[in-house]
Homo-oligomer: A and B are copies of this chain.
Amino acid sequence: MATIRPQLSRCVRQAVCRASNRPFSSSRQQLQLPVPIAHILDKGPADAEDVVINGFVRSIRNQKQRSFASIGDGSSLEPLQALLTPEQAQSLTAGTAVRLSGAWKPSPNPKAQSHELHVTGVDVIGAADPTTFPLQKKYQTPEYLRTIPHLRTRLPFNSTLLRFRSACIAEITLALSRDGYTQTHTPIITSSDCEGAGEVFNVGSTHKAPVGENDDGSFFRSPKYLTVSSQLHLEALAQSVGNVWTLSPTFRAEKSDTARHLSEFYMLEIEMSFVEDMNVVMDAAEKLIQCMTRPLLSSRVGREILASKDPNNPHPDEKRPENLRRRWEGILSGPWPRITYTEAIRLLQSSKRKFDHKPEWGSGLQAEHERYIADKVGVEGSPVFVTHYPRSIKPFYMLPAANNNDTAETVECFDLLLPEVCEVVGGSMREYRVEQLLVSMQSNGLIPPGPLSSISDEQLGELKWYVDLRRWGSVPHGGFGLGFDRLLGYLAGVQNIREIVPFPRWVGRCEC
């Protein structure tokens, strides 16, 4: 029984003592956590008895005298090989959860695996009926697997993607913390729509007012939405604490049914304070993406991504490792080319390529245009920054270009184009001068025209606070948003963003 500290009053001591049938402070007993299979594969002793592993049967191969089971627990793409007697293997089928104990011995076939577990004890923890188990060994279409996201992450490649996401978050958190950025939690339910356009989700409450109380039916007293970007809030925080970032869920109610769009996705956003040169912001984006990429060259998860098969492709793609390496090296080569939108349009117009959409100054770049630019301007597979787009196709908050000799008015903004995948980052310098911001809001139709002095708080509406940020101690600042899921997909060679997110949401689809 655990010792009770003398400081406890007698009354409490009695109460606590009555708990003696349960461990009172068992943390003193150093409870053991299961050892992940990856640890055993990486650091397993050369020849050891009494190894215990927990995992799931991936496959089983029965011979006359013995059986071989591949066991995985999600910690490793590669399975652990267990050697059993046919009797021990009897109750094991694909998907079964087991605890196996035995001796860890060198394998007679070191090319396949260095060691294998000679099983002495089998403990079936959770059976899996092979007649109904949905993750059969045969190839299954991505479309089918998307209907069972709660099971699909059990597949070795999908659990590798989970670990890859986790490793990236850790790398970023560490790097940005080291560089003095403050990580913030920006709100999800918001009043304003950052882009001034786009489809938003609205938020309501099912709450019924108690009898006798007045309830206008609206929890927040006015319409609220799911955030489409944390930028506006980050701008407020950057003025408070310096450079800030957030990795936050973001929402678009767009009915896009493509491999690049989700209705709910994670965006990594950075806002930098006291910064006048947009190159500083682009440098930060470049450094951030390199910091996610660099560990892939030497980490376990990096090796696993190279070794894995594209789950979207039933036929092995022999060039996958080579293509992925090229992507990573393209990112790490840096510095990445930076060209203006105007130059990009000239480049497109001088090309012999037939585009579906004719490239024209003043129109947005289409995916086909972006691919062409990334391909032609990128150096050895590097991404490309395209800067200084026309003001007319960009949101109201962007700062006009200062040193501007383009053919018409442009703004201090940039998109980062990845080869094949296209836009993955969008950023800009923000208009930090209150008069100019108001004029821009007028010309974007967000507030009525007329003398600035006549604009009332009511007319500013949900953007009053954003204008406020410029009223007292406003400073030059800029930032960007990075499509986190999209970048993960690029780095891991997953073509459809629906495979990179464990529970993807898009139009008509919200499983689990």
Contact = CB atoms under 8 A, between A and B. Distances in A.
List the 7 shortest-distance A-B pairs measured between CB atoms, nearest first. A74-B241, A153-B240, A128-B472, A126-B474, A97-B473, A25-B335, A26-B279
Given A11-B351, A166-B183, A184-B502, 11 more contacts: A73-B242, A128-B472, A128-B473, A148-B468, A153-B237, A169-B183, A191-B511, A220-B509, A220-B510, A233-B503, A249-B249
Contacts of A174: 170, 173-174
B189 A166 contact: no
Contacts of A165: 183-185
Interface stretch (A83-91, A104-112, A311-319, A339-347): A339-347
Contacts of A469: 150-151
6 contacts: A27-B283, A99-B274, A126-B432, A165-B183, A191-B511, A466-B512
Nearest to A225: B206
A133 B56 CA distance: 63
A197 interface: no
Contacts of A432: 126
A101 interface: no
A383 to B, nearest CB: 12
A36 interface: yes
Most B Cβ at <10 Å: residue of A182, A277, A379: A182
Contacts of A81: none
A7 interface: yes
Interface in A178-220: 180-192, 199-207, 219-220
A350 interface: yes
Contacts of A23: 279, 338
A428 interface: no
A453 B235 CA distance: 57
A437 B83 CA distance: 34
A387 interface: yes
Given A125-B475, A166-B184, A202 B199 contact: no
Contact of A476 (B125, B133, B181, B264): B125
A46 interface: no
Contacts of A202: 203-206
A96 B474 CA distance: 8
A285 to B, nearest CB: 10
Interface string A495-512: 000000111010111111
A444 B148 CA distance: 26
A25 B338 contact: yes
Interface stretch (A14-22, A137-145, A355-363, A418-426): A14-22
A43 interface: no
Contacts of A254: 207
Interface string A271-303: 011110101101100100000000000000000
Contacts of A465: 148, 150, 511-512
A241 B189 CA distance: 31
Nearest to A255: B207
A150 B380 CA distance: 44
Interface stretch (A59-67, A156-164, A392-400): A156-164
Contacts of A73: 242, 274
A379 B15 contact: no
Contact of A237 (B21, B188, B502): B502
B236 A338 contact: no
B189 A162 contact: no
A41 B22 CA distance: 52
Nearest to A30: B283
Contacts of A190: 510, 512
Most B Cβ at <10 Å: residue of A280, A379, A475: A475
A189 to B, nearest CB: 5
Contact of A508 (B8, B183, B220, B388): B220
Contact of A343 (B18, B31, B187, B337): B18
A340 to B, nearest CB: 6
A279 B249 contact: no
A226 interface: yes
A207 B475 contact: no
A456 interface: no
A188 B249 contact: yes
A175 to B, nearest CB: 10
Contacts of A350: 11
A319 B248 CA distance: 37
A226 B253 contact: no
A34 interface: yes
A354 interface: no
Contact of A253 (B24, B201, B219, B510): B219
A259 interface: no
B472 A337 contact: no
